[in-house]
């Protein structure tokens, strides 16, 4: 039976681990033996409790302090290298989700394993780190799956590339189809945005939009723990017509209340390469 070693740094409620979950579910159904290396420093993410998948926890977390995040990042690369070195062999496929787990790709190549990258974003900072990660991918990948044509052309890796567009799970679409198509007359016009708790994702702009349109209701679902959301709201008081929510496994109630869903990412700081929330 073929073995897949999947690697994703941060298991949260963002788009790339959701896509990876869908991929691993299909591989598990096909009979592959799957090991998953990932970090879950807070609430369970999309990669938690995957049936048929053996999880190897990583010690990694994001920090609002850039130098600390880079330190954590360097340490987890060392950890990844040795974990994959012990798990992989020439018959393995190492599935690297995003450019970030470079240490896993290097170890896989050293062990003679096949390396497949699944590439989601292009807006990585700082620029020297993005260059370094691209160099590792160029030298280690046997194949690259890109979530959009923009990712393929922007990264332009000199390996076999294939564009595989993201999709929602059939169960999600089925549940959404059972929702009411029209809002009750008593329900306010609601504007929804779901994103990470980062300024470049347009969070300040969403606050400003809510203040400018007090007659509308606004909901902001953040990929963050309740404590982080509460701390942010304490520093940035929300207008009365704006409600903030922490990460959730069930977005259906928010979508059912929404009259419109927006994305306000700043294109000069973060290019959206696929929009699972939209």
Domain boundaries, given as residue ranges, for the chain: 3-163, 174-261
| pLDDT at site 6 | 98
Quick one: average pLDDT of 161-176? 86
| pLDDT at site 186 | 67
Q: Are 109 and 141 in contact (CB under 8 A)?
A: no
The residue whose two tokens read 């009979």 is: 31
Rounded Cα distance, 270 and 267, in Å: 5
> Partners of 4 in the beta sheet?
34, 93
Tell me the whole-structure pTM to 2 decimals.
0.86
pLDDT bucket at 185, cuts 50 / 70 / 90? low
Neighbour tally for 195: CB within 10 Å: 24
| pLDDT at site 181 | 60
Which residues 6+ apart lie within 8 Å of 212 measured at CB?
none
Correct CATH for 3-163 of 3.40.50.20, 3.40.50.2000, 3.40.630.30, 3.20.20.70 = 3.40.50.2000
Handedness of CA 26, 147, 172, 11 (dihedral sign): positive
3-state percent breakdown (helix, strand, coil) of the chain, nearest 5: 35, 20, 40
Residues in the chain: 278
Most confident of 104-118, 122-136, 241-255: 104-118
Six token digits for residue 261? 């869903």
CA angle, 40 then 41 then 43, to 5°: 75
Rounded Cα distance, 69 and 189, in Å: 39
């Amino acid at each position: 039976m073929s073995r897949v070693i999947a690697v994703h740094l941060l298991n949260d409620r963002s788009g790339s681990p959701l896509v990876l979950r869908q991929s691993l579910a299909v591989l598990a159904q096909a009979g592959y033996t799957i090991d998953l290396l990932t970090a879950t420093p807070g609430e369970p993410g999309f990669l938690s409790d995957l049936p048929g998948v053996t999880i190897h926890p990583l010690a990694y977390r994001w920090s609002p302090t850039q130098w600390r995040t880079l330190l954590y990042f360097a340490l987890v690369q060392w950890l990844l290298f040795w974990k994959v070195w012990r798990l992989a062999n020439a018959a393995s496929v190492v599935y690297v989700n995003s450019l970030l787990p470079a240490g896993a790709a290097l170890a896989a190549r050293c062990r003679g394993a096949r390396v497949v990258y699944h590439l989601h974003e292009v807006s990585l900072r700082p620029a020297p780190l993005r260059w370094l990660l691209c160099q590792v991918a160029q030298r280690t990948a046997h194949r690259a799956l890109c979530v959009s044509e923009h990712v393929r052309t922007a990264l332009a890796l000199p390996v076999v590339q294939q564009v595989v567009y993201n999709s929602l799970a059939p169960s999600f679409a089925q549940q959404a189809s059972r929702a009411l198509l029209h809002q009750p007359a008593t329900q306010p016009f609601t504007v929804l945005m779901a994103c990470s708790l980062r300024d470049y994702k347009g969070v300040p702009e969403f606050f400003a939009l809510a203040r400018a349109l007090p007659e509308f209701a606004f909901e902001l679902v953040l990929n963050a723990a309740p404590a982080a959301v509460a701390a942010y709201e304490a520093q940035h008081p929300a207008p009365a017509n704006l409600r903030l929510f922490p990460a959730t496994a069930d977005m259906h109630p928010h979508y059912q209340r929404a009259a419109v869903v927006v994305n306000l990412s700043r294109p000069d700081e973060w290019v959206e390469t696929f929009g699972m929330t939209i």
